[in-house]
Amino acid sequence: MMGSKIDCVWYVSAFRRPWEAAVIDSLAAALKAKKGELKTPQVYVAGGTANFRIDGILSWNSLTFFERAAAVLFKGSLWHLWGDPPFWWGWIRLRARTVHTVLDNSPKWRGHPTRFFAEQARQGESLIAPTFDAKIDWTDGKSKGDDEEGKVEKKPSTLLLAAPLDKNLAEALDSGIDGIPVRTSEVGASETETSLKRGHALFTDDSPSNVLLAAYLTMRGVPVVGCDAPLLQAVLGAGGYVAVPRGGDRSSWTKALGDVMSEAGRSASAGARHFLKKNYAASDAVESLEKLYRSATSRGAAKGKS
């Protein structure tokens, strides 16, 4: 297996929200650009493909019975499962090595266990370094991206609230910024982009998926304000967002909301983008996948927990 390129298949049963799909896109693009010891993976998605931009991606549901059977029985020496396993996953594990990546905190592993975040890898799971596209778009007016000082040209009209809604935060939102109440929307797969373009604040929390959302939006010029959380710090950097202590009172949230829409918020967002570019580079993502796949396919490597 080590004498030739590793023939890998990706099956994506989760990671289908726009910000999750963007990470899968970025990883696949990085592998394709590297042209190293890994073949560009064939990617199958359980469901629709609208949120993905990967060349050659296929919806598993669109395949004929014979195409699905052929893939399960013959395709790939290594399969990477992103999300929950399909009912036929046991057939894959009879003949191929498997890698399993999830965002859940308590998964049942069906392949070599892998995580995006060291904070979740408490049982020796391997780490995959995510990578993020550098795009700036959700700002007022035309954006030029980052200048030499790392500032966005105009003040953003939207922000991400990485915090659970409680009484203190609700009262701060009602008080608003400069006396204007903050309009809010719940985070949803289809509503996210529309809500941002309308200038709404998006509610979320510091779960792994929403930490990816924070990075996704930060790379698009959206500042983040939220509870002081290890995962957010790991991805955006300690100063990459306007942090409020957990259990912060109304005045803490009122100040944070004012800060995030000011120069402090713009500086934090620019710092987070630089942090993401430096610490989550495409080359690091490829290296982590190559190391993982070498381990998973080498002689004597464990296939993961049953």
Rounded to an integer, the average pLDDT of 190-211 is 66
On the question of pLDDT at 300 being above 50, the answer is no
Give the DSSP H/E element, type plus range, for residue 103: none
> Top-level CATH class of 8-131+281-297?
alpha beta
On the question of pLDDT at 191 being above 60, the answer is no
On the question of pLDDT at 291 being above 50, the answer is yes
pTM score, whole prediction: 0.83
On the question of pLDDT at 131 being above 50, the answer is yes
* Structural domain spans, the chain: 8-131+281-297, 159-279
Rounded to an integer, the average pLDDT of 192-212 is 69
7-21: pLDDT as tens digits: 999 999 988 888 899
237 vs 247, residue with greater confidence:
237
On the question of pLDDT at 234 being above 50, the answer is yes
pLDDT at 288: 94
Cα–chain center distance at 256: 25
Rounded to an integer, the average pLDDT of 114-133 is 90
pLDDT at 159: 73
Beta strand segments in the chain, E: 8-12, 42-45, 58-59, 78-82, 97-101, 112-115, 126-127, 159-162, 184-186, 201-204, 224-227, 242-244
239-248: pLDDT as tens digits: 999 988 887 8
pLDDT at 137: 47
User: How far is Cα 181 from Cα 48, in angstroms, rounded to an integer?
Assistant: 37
Rounded to an integer, the average pLDDT of 40-63 is 93
pLDDT at 292: 93
pLDDT at 194: 60
Rounded to an integer, the average pLDDT of 290-300 is 80
User: How far is Cα 125 from Cα 194, in angstroms, rounded to an integer?
Assistant: 36
On the question of pLDDT at 151 being above 60, the answer is no
